[in-house]
Structure 1
């Protein structure tokens, strides 16, 4: 099969298009013929080895110490089930699905393999593959973090980095639950996040939200610059800091900070679940969750896609079209 592969860490140019062996599904596996994936911040970190402070050694365990452990990047996929293992009961060839592949990667290829017990679900009915895949990475991550605290009508939620893949999903998911959402992003993205459900926008270039006096029940940090020490005075008693991105210190001290402050500090990794994908699908089908796509690239443009994501100004998702819509 054709795939975007990298055999060493480095700049976008280390990724090339090559022919590699198509995965063979095991007894419990689903083989997806991929139509679309995304190039995410996680792909950038895996390829470049640029990770938050102190996480280099831990990242090497999953990514590889001297060369990439997984040659094909891409944490998500949308496509059509090509084949299933003999013990698969939930899916059949021809099913249109979305999947979160997680740390195994593999979405930037013509075929991807995932366990039927993993994060895989039927894609939203009537939605194109390119749109559907844009829901996956940001949506399942935001859902997992928001599930760690109670959010309901009137909950005051601040999303730092509200215009990225996780941020745009977090704004929408919190708004669906009835929260009053404050979005921190560039002023050029104010109209976007407002359309997604934010009731207030803070331009990070002209105002440091951590120096403010307003308080919030939940702060979602999708950037990695809102440590507990910087924002604890903004978190209401019993509130929460959901650190989607943080450094080693933030991870190691999360439990002790929670215990001492009485405020939840959540910085541990995400368990990707099919039920969370199914929740996103239901919202999308009802029109309460929409994909946010900045740019689209064909597989042959993989280097350009990585360069675009590396720049750090992506709004929502950068979609990678592996096959043409309607070609399967």
Structure 2
């Protein structure tokens, strides 16, 4: 439980009842995300009221389902609980996966888009895009194994020139981007300025967009957000998890990534795990077993 401006505390709460289209999850592990730290430290995205239960990723067993849920069978064990849409198939709400396809629909690119045959891994590869990724050099081989066509180190002072050169060699226009880390937007306008030609460019930004963020003429920068209306959101979530995730895992076009870094301490260890995430991790997902 989060109090305003405070740390997470362990407290007893009433076990929620699942709604008509929801499932109740016995949470056995939670994964931490930068958005959790942002909500704890700055209250962004806005927390409607305090005290609040925050968190986006969870995995466990389903003990109870809503009366309109037919795709998930209830389990038998009860301990720690959370609510989630039934499309999650009992695996919680994997924010990292939802972030990728939601970026494309945020920019008006349907998930049915296919420019080339599917190969390799990842949402951008499935759509058929040529992928220019940035990461620490030690992760470049791993990114290429997931489908990136080229990778640059964002620590390099000439990272913009590296990307521009790589795009130029392919003879294509780069006019769609997805920023997934804070400060990732800073070099993006310069990259697009030199690679998008005369076309309009679009950028999805997964961290919260702050006032005064970098911009570029004829370029739209939008906060990555699924549809807000209930019907549109339900359809999108079903397409992400029931379609892309389940089918992708079965076919091998989607693979779990990155590797998991398990922290101990259960619920009481969440603050320590948050501190490790804030201090900086690289190429891992911090997970706490409950």
TM-score band w.r.t. shorter chain: 0.7 to 0.9
Cα distance in structure 2, aligned partners of 1:219 and 1:22: 41
Question: If the length of structure 2 is used for normalisation, what is the TM-score?
Answer: 0.74
Q: What is the aligned partner in structure 1 of residue 40 from structure 2?
A: 47
Q: Is this contact kept in 1: 2:103–2:224, CA < 8 A?
A: no
Cα distance in structure 1, aligned partners of 2:211 and 2:11: 39
Greater RCO, CA 8 A, separation 6+: 1
Cα distance in structure 2, aligned partners of 1:38 and 1:17: 17
Q: Is this contact kept in 1: 2:56–2:94, CA < 8 A?
A: no
46 and 37 in structure 1: CA distance in 2 versus 1, 3 angstrom threshold: same
SS at match of 2:98: helix
Q: What is the aligned partner in structure 2 of residue 270 from structure 1?
A: 226
Cα distance in structure 2, aligned partners of 1:205 and 1:138: 23
Shift of 1:229: 4.2
Q: What is the aligned partner in structure 2 of residue 160 from structure 1?
A: none
Q: Is this contact kept in 1: 2:71–2:89, CA < 8 A?
A: no
Q: Is this contact kept in 2: 1:182–1:201, CA < 8 A?
A: yes
How many residues are matched? 257
Shift of 1:249: 4.0
RMSD: 3.3
Cα distance in structure 2, aligned partners of 1:70 and 1:25: 21
Shift of 1:238: 4.5
Runs of 5+ unmatched residues, structure 2: 168-173, 228-232
Cα distance in structure 2, aligned partners of 1:268 and 1:250: 17
34 and 202 in structure 1: CA distance in 2 versus 1, 3 angstrom threshold: same
Among candidates 36, 39, 63, match of residue 47 of structure 2: 63
SS at match of 1:308: helix
Q: What is the aligned partner in structure 2 of residue 30 from structure 1?
A: 23
SS at match of 1:18: coil
207 and 246 in structure 1: CA distance in 2 versus 1, 3 angstrom threshold: farther
Shift of 1:208: 4.2
Cα distance in structure 2, aligned partners of 1:26 and 1:308: 35
Tell me which protein shows more strand as a share of its residues: 1
SS at match of 1:17: coil
Q: What is the aligned partner in structure 1 of residue 196 from structure 2?
A: 235
Q: What is the aligned partner in structure 1 of residue 252 from structure 2?
A: 287
Shift of 1:207: 3.6
Q: What is the aligned partner in structure 2 of residue 244 from structure 1?
A: 206
Q: What is the aligned partner in structure 1 of residue 80 from structure 2?
A: 110
Shift of 1:27: 4.3
Task: Name the stretch that deviates more: 176-185 or 277-286.
Answer: 176-185
Question: If the length of structure 1 is used for normalisation, what is the TM-score?
Answer: 0.66
Are 2:114 and 1:141 aligned? no
SS at match of 1:6: coil
Cα distance in structure 1, aligned partners of 2:40 and 2:271: 11
Task: Name the stretch that deviates more: 290-299 or 31-40.
Answer: 290-299
Shift of 1:289: 1.3
Shift of 1:111: 0.3
Where in structure 2 are the equivalents of 1:1-328 lying within 5 Å?
Answer: 5-10=1-6, 14-49=7-42, 51=44, 59=45, 62-64=46-48, 69=50, 71-94=52-75, 110-116=80-86, 120-122=87-89, 136-147=94-105, 148-149=108-109, 152-153=115-116, 172-211=122-161, 213-214=164-165, 215=167, 216-225=174-183, 226=185, 229-233=189-193, 234-236=195-197, 237-245=199-207, 247-249=209-211, 261=218, 263-267=219-223, 269-271=225-227, 273-278=237-242, 279-291=244-256, 292-298=258-264, 299=266, 300-322=268-290
Cα distance in structure 2, aligned partners of 1:184 and 1:219: 11
Q: Is this contact kept in 1: 2:35–2:207, CA < 8 A?
A: no
Runs of 5+ unmatched residues, structure 1: 52-58, 96-108, 124-131, 155-170, 323-328
